[in-house]
Amino acid sequence: MGRDKALVPLAGRPLLAHVLDRLDPQVDRVLISANGDPTRFVAFGCPVIPDASPPGSPDARPQGPLSGILAALTHAAAQGATHLVSTPVDTPFLPGDLVPQLLLAAEASPHGLALACDPTGDHPATAVWPVALIPALTAFLQTGEARVTRFADARQAARARFPDPRAFVNLNTPEDLAQAEALAKAAP
C-alpha cells in the first residue's frame, strides 16, 4: 500500500491497534516483529523485535517471516514463555477465540505447532509456535529455505479450523482496505 501497513488507518485507527485489540485478551504479552525504526511503534507499548538471521545461514540476512518468528521465539523463550502466537498486522478481524483454538489444535501435532485455516485454505502466518522449535527452525533457515508452509508441514503442523474466512482477510491493496472499512462499519 506504499506505506507501513501497521500504521495504515482502518475505521480511524491503525491496523496494528485492531490486531492488538483482538490479541490482548487472549495472550499474556504482545511483541511486535518489525524491521526499521522501532520508535514508530512506541505508542503501542510493546517491545519491537527485528528479524533474526540464523548463524550459518547462506546469505546471513533475514529470510522472510520465519526470520521474524525465530527472533520472536528467542525473545519469548528468554521471557519464560512456552509458546508464541503469530499473526500478520494486516488481519484486523481475527477471531476472539484464535489462541484457544490454535492451542487446542496444537495438541494434535507431534511438535505442538498449529496453523489457522478456513474454507479458503491455510493461513500459515497465523499460528502457535512452541519455543521448543527454536533449534529446528534455526537449522531449517540455515539451509536457505524460508517457506513457512514447508517448515510447518515438515513439523506435522495441525490445523485450527475457523468457519469465517473474513477473520483472516489480508489488506494488501486500497480495494482491500475499502472492503475492510465496510466490514468495520457493519460490525457491532
SS3 81: coil
pLDDT of residue 158 exceeding 70, the answer is: yes
**pLDDT bucket at 77, cuts 50 / 70 / 90:** very high
Mean per-residue pLDDT over the chain, rounded: 91
SS3 6: helix
pLDDT of residue 14 exceeding 90, the answer is: yes
20-73 tens-digit pLDDT: 999 999 999 999 999 889 999 999 999 999 987 666 555 555 678 899 999 999
pLDDT of residue 110: 96
Helix (H), strand (E) at residue 180: helix 174-186
SS3 25: helix
pLDDT of residue 3: 79
Q: Which domains does the chain have, with CATH numbers?
A: 5-183 (3.90.550.10)
pLDDT of residue 52: 77
Q: Which of the two residues, 15 and 144, has the higher pLDDT score?
A: 15
